[in-house]
A and B are shown apart, each in its own frame.
Chain A
């Protein structure tokens, strides 16, 4: 396939995998002069099972939580070799490996100012190990370790504000993106790569298996997350919010009803109201509402 030699087909992602869409778009936008450092997770597992590899660029996987630190070492080595100016370094991982177990390494990478783009593929749970709850799992979501039940409506806690945590580190570029908006994602990757210093892009990637939706619904589901205000698409440059995708907000129920992981909420107006509040707060905070 001449189109996508940087990330080839023949990998074993689930049909309709949002992360597969995003990962390929990221490396295609970054180009061949890129070294990728990957955390353990779905992407690593489905793309590099020996003797296969989907990656046409230099690629390394070490452990679950340390891609930001390994990438820091790659970057330092490239500087030593005098090659950093012509080589991009991308560190990437899922929401769990980024915001939970990998937060320390990521924070260190940000603080030290390495010239690395960090991409977080946010499918809102530890998908590779079986859909367990992570720090980026949204409020009231049904996961295997925050299940809905007779005494629970799912995950008790709000989504960790990972983009804001990145901004608070004072890094030059932070953005959110979505597998439902493919050109926007590539634009943001290209922009990030052109900036020197640590960059963070968090991509919302639907998981048909973990979110319980049909494989062909990946794009519409991702779009609805954005269009309800639950997943704002924003850009921060040098700590200032410079761009947001404006929406004509749809009620959150339209998004919730597309996925089995929210099924338990559909006859629970009280909980839906709480989730609507989350969306409304986002809309207010980021000024998402499009002018009439």
Chain B
């Protein structure tokens, strides 16, 4: 059903259709509208969930961990500082193989404090063992939540999934969306049947102490499962398409006019909408430019990326995050995808833009294409204001 709706509200709608048994969240901008809407739905009897108003994000994540461990579908949402406060629990949930789904409304990280969008928060937790998928627009954000639960609860997976969407840009942006109907959601997403749970009929111990004789295998199992997720995502995407009529191909990457491109920009999230406009404008002028959009950041689709870009001579990776003191996060993965391969781009340059919500305009993207030359650059910050930078500290 077509609706013109704010992103956050659409997310609350889709979460409601997923029928979670327990919802727990702590307010943080820009996630607030999602949980407020869910609270209203519960208050109106439209959603039969236990809504637990916790005293911190650490507890929000702990509540959904406990609920999921008791065999119930659970949901939480957060951003930035909230994600970092629950970081310990985030790793714990993955280690305990619990299929929690979380919305990360991507927001910049303190310090300095900044409530606007970049991808530093979820990217900083890339080692946690959560599947991470990034939406370009609100339709994807909605659909990806369904896919997230379907993937997480798959008995071959049993890993938590972070559905990432750019804060404010998507959460507070209004778009016309095709909101799924309950019957179709029920068809695509069956009732959750846990592999293991806390049940007095069948007691088990969860959250073991694993000494050096046992720990590595527990971790290896997650790494192995993540590799398999690269195959399950295309499978589930196909299922999704057959029920809802929207084709996300392999749910790993989107190739936008990359076939014969000389220059390709690699990016993630809503900025890709802007990049597509620049690609179209460049193509109209006869320039062979393309965009490779990363959808699944974890597991990272190295083979898929290689296949898509092995014949492209110049790549510009646009990161909306940094790894301070090293190469930018997506750039590093891109370089790894090609290292040691016979066919590889001549140049993989890394650009950083949009930190703290600084607008990435058409001009920004064009500037990146201009700077994508024969000489490789690394962590080249675009749209920097030199007048704000001084060598020595002073007022």
Contact = CB atoms under 8 A, between A and B. Distances in A.
Interface of A: 32-35, 37-38, 44-45, 48-51, 53, 55-63, 65-66, 69-81, 87, 104-105, 107-108, 111-112
Nearest to B66: A73
B74 interface: yes
Contacts of A50: 208-211, 214
Interface stretch (B46-54, B287-295, B382-390): B46-54
Contacts of A72: 24, 52, 54, 59, 62-63, 66
B70 A73 contact: yes
A81 B21 contact: yes
A73 B63 contact: yes
A73 B203 contact: no
B96 to A, nearest CB: 7
Contact of B206 (A59, A104, A111): A59
A66 B209 contact: no
Given A48-B209, A58-B204, A73 B89 contact: no
A48 B66 contact: no
26 contacts: A32-B200, A33-B200, A49-B208, A50-B210, A57-B200, A60-B198, A60-B205, A61-B206, A63-B62, A66-B89, A69-B63, A70-B69, A72-B24, A73-B65, A73-B70, A74-B70, A76-B66, A80-B48, A81-B21, A81-B72, A104-B55, A105-B56, A107-B55, A108-B55, A108-B56, A108-B59
B71 A77 contact: yes
Given A58-B198, A104-B56, A108-B59, A70 B211 contact: no
Contacts of B50: 76-77, 79-80
B22 interface: yes
A48 B205 CA distance: 8
B55 A73 contact: no
Interface of B: 21-22, 24, 48-50, 52-56, 58-59, 62-72, 74, 88-89, 92, 96, 198-200, 202-211, 214
B46 to A, nearest CB: 16
A71 B24 CA distance: 13
Contacts of B49: 80
A49 B213 CA distance: 11
Nearest to B60: A69
A4 B70 CA distance: 24
A79 B52 CA distance: 12
B367 to A, nearest CB: 45
B120 to A, nearest CB: 24
A86 to B, nearest CB: 8
Contact of B63 (A34, A48, A55, A70): A70
A87 B200 contact: yes
Contacts of A75: 66
- The 9 lowest CB-CB distance pairs between A and B, nearest first, are A73-B66, A61-B207, A69-B62, A108-B55, A77-B70, A73-B63, A69-B59, A70-B66, A76-B50
Contact of B66 (A32, A45, A69, A104): A69
